[in-house]
């Protein structure tokens, strides 16, 4: 069951990566903690039998999902919500929380829109802090929004599970309340440089990056790894906010002799850049980030311009891995045959961390944070064994890469082996 929370205007002053408007949640569901407290108070106020004096079991837990539900990045928020909702539906159908004080409780999601805007995200963060009916939250999707909102969450002790924001700064230091399952850009950007050189044969590349924490983090890690693998960067360009015409930057990279184009941004900008390179008649290999691993990239770029573009990816819906196939089949059954995206996959993969934390005894915000820290290791439904590092990011296996290589072929994104 999904309930909608506050939806704010985006006009207020981003493996598998906000504070001017007011308002309140439209949800009318009672707080899980408040429900139990009310039952206990009623028991104390009336002379009843010992058997009847125990507090009533909590029937509902409310959990927030925060991301861009409107605007250019809305696909990410919608995908995140769909992945977590599938996990909730499966949990509730199996009887709710498996153990602990909240055993049997069902989970209800409450949706919040941050518009991919840091200021709006901070406003939403304060609302989540103030709404005591919310036990924890998933989000935000965009790194800049997480970085703006996290001080607010940390100050109020609100548990936040980050499934898609990938800037290294999110977990550069330990935040007691924040837990991220996704690999950070310092690994992802470095892997992209190795892919460009060793798998795609690029020797001189130009970088186009978004002017935010996501793009900046990728530029830094890509540049460092490029030097290590012998890949020359002829241009490294951060674009402007809300820019739509990238022709001048692409032309410069082309004229400077690049034999490959690297797109370090979200799917909306990457799609426009691929289209504009195609319109210029510049035919070189293009490599985009995991953020473009969804069908919207093809829709915006157009089938002809998108054809042949390479994507570094965290998830392949066509994988024969049994865990991936089980997720894909469940998602398609819940969405009239729709194929799940990477954003839905990483969110679905993250949600059980909270369910296990609750099953092992957590019942309020403070114990959710403490239990997640204490448990430390989890089994995720798609990727399997997982362990948080001391800063609450994923522990990486140095012998394995985090990403796979995909390519747009015949109008669809498919696995690719050079």
**pLDDT, tens digit (0-9, with 9 covering 90-100), for 138-193:** 999 999 999 999 999 999 999 999 999 989 999 999 999 999 999 988 888 999 99
Q: Phi and psi dihedrals of 356, rounded to 5?
A: -70, -40
Confidence bin at 401 (pLDDT 50/70/90): confident
**243 or 397: whose pLDDT is higher?**
243
Q: Is the pLDDT of residue 36 over 70?
A: no
- Residue 28's pLDDT is 30
CA distance 45 to 34: 16
Band of residue 2 on the pLDDT scale cut at 50, 70, 90: low
pLDDT of residue 5: 45
DSSP 57: P
Whether 201 has a pLDDT exceeding 60, the answer reads yes
Whether 34 shows a pLDDT value over 60: the answer reads no
Evaluate the omega torsion of the peptide bond into residue 140 and state whether it is cis, within 30 degrees of 0.
Answer: yes
Average pLDDT over residues 20-35: 35
Cα 66 to Cα 353: distance, rounded to the nearest angstrom: 17
> What is the C-alpha separation between 91 and 99, in angstroms, rounded?
12
Question: For the residues 204-232, what does the mean pLDDT come to?
Answer: 94
CA distances, 398 to each of 173, 184, 187, 385, 402 (Å): 21, 14, 10, 15, 10
Q: What is the CATH number of domain 186-313+401-415?
A: 3.40.50.2300
Question: Do 397 and 387 contact (CB within 8 A), yes or no?
Answer: no
At residue 215 the predicted structure's pLDDT band, cuts being 50, 70 and 90, is very high
In which band, very low, low, confident or very high, does the pLDDT at 57 lie, cut at 50, 70 and 90?
low
Q: Is the pLDDT of residue 221 over 60?
A: yes
pLDDT at 355: 98
Degrees (nearest 5) of the Cα angle 291, 71, 339?
45
- Lowest-pLDDT range, 20-34, 236-250, 293-307? 20-34
Q: Is the pLDDT of residue 314 over 70?
A: yes
* d(C-alpha 276, C-alpha 244), whole Å: 10
Q: Indicate if the pLDDT at residue 46 is higher than 60.
A: no
Predicted confidence at residue 72, as pLDDT, reads: 85
For domain 2-183+337-387, which architecture applies?
3-Layer(aba) Sandwich (3.40)
Q: What is the mean pLDDT of the chain?
A: 87
Where, residue-wise, is CATH 3.40.50.2300 in the chain?
Answer: 2-183+337-387, 186-313+401-415
The neighbour count for residue 29, using CB atoms within 10 Å, is 16
Residues 331 and 343: beta-carbon distance below 8 Å:
no
**Strand-pair partners of 107:** 61
Q: What pLDDT is stored for residue 32 in this prediction?
A: 40
Beta strands 134-138; 60-67: pairing state: parallel
The CA-to-CA distance between both ends of the chain, in Å, stands at 44
Question: For residue 402, is pLDDT > 90?
Answer: no
As a whole-number percent, the residues of the chain with pLDDT over 70 amount to: 86
Q: Is 17 a residue whose pLDDT tops 50? A: no
Task: Report residue 18 as tokens.
Answer: 């906000």
**Strand blocks (E) in 198-337:** 204-209, 232-238, 260-264, 286-288, 310-313
Residue 22 has pLDDT above 70, yes or no: no
Look at residue 101 in the predicted model and tell me its pLDDT: 96
Share of the chain above pLDDT 90, in %: 77
The secondary structure element, H or E, covering residue 178 is strand 178-180
């Amino acid at each position: 069951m999904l309930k909608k929370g506050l939806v704010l205007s985006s006009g207020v002053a981003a493996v598998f990566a906000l504070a001017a408007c007011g308002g309140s949640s439209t949800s009318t569901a009672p707080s899980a903690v408040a429900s139990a407290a009310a039952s206990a108070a009623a028991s104390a106020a009336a002379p009843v039998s010992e058997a009847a004096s125990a507090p009533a079991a909590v029937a509902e837990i409310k959990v927030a999902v925060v991301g861009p539900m409107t605007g250019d990045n809305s696909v990410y928020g919608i995908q995140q919500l769909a992945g977590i909702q599938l996990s909730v539906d499966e949990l509730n159908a199996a009887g709710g929380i498996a153990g602990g004080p909240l055993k049997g409780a069902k989970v209800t999601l409450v949706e919040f829109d941050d518009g991919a805007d840091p200021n709006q995200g901070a406003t939403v963060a304060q609302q989540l802090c103030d709404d005591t009916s919310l036990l924890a939250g998933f989000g935000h999707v965009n790194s800049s929004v997480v970085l703006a909102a996290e001080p607010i969450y940390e100050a109020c002790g609100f548990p936040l599970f980050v499934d898609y924001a990938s800037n290294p700064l999110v977990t550069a230091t330990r935040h007691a309340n924040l837990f991220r399952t996704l690999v950070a850009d310092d690994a992802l950007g470095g892997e992209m440089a190795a892919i460009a050189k060793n798998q795609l044969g690029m020797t001189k590349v130009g970088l186009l990056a978004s002017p935010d924490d996501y793009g900046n983090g990728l530029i830094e890690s890509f540049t460092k790894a490029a030097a290590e693998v012998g890949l020359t960067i002829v241009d490294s360009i951060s674009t402007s906010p809300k820019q739509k015409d990238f022709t001048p930057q692409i032309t410069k990279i082309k004229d400077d002799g690049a034999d490959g184009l690297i797109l370090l941004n979200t799917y909306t900008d990457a799609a426009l850049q691929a289209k504009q390179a195609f319109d210029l008649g510049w035919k070189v290999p293009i490599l985009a980030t995991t953020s473009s691993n969804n069908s919207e990239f093809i829709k915006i770029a157009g089938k002809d311009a998108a054809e042949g573009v390479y994507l570094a990816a965290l998830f392949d819906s066509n994988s024969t891995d049994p865990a991936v196939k089980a997720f894909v089949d469940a998602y398609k059954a819940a969405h009239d045959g729709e194929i799940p995206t990477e954003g839905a996959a990483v969110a679905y993969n993250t949600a059980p961390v909270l369910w296990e934390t609750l099953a092992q005894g957590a019942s309020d915000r403070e114990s959710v944070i403490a239990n997640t820290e204490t448990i430390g290791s989890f089994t995720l439904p798609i990727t399997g064994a997982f362990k948080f590092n001391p800063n609450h990011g994923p522990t990486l296996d140095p012998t394995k890469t985090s990403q796979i290589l995909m390519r747009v072929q015949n109008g669809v994104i498919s696995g690719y082996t050079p």
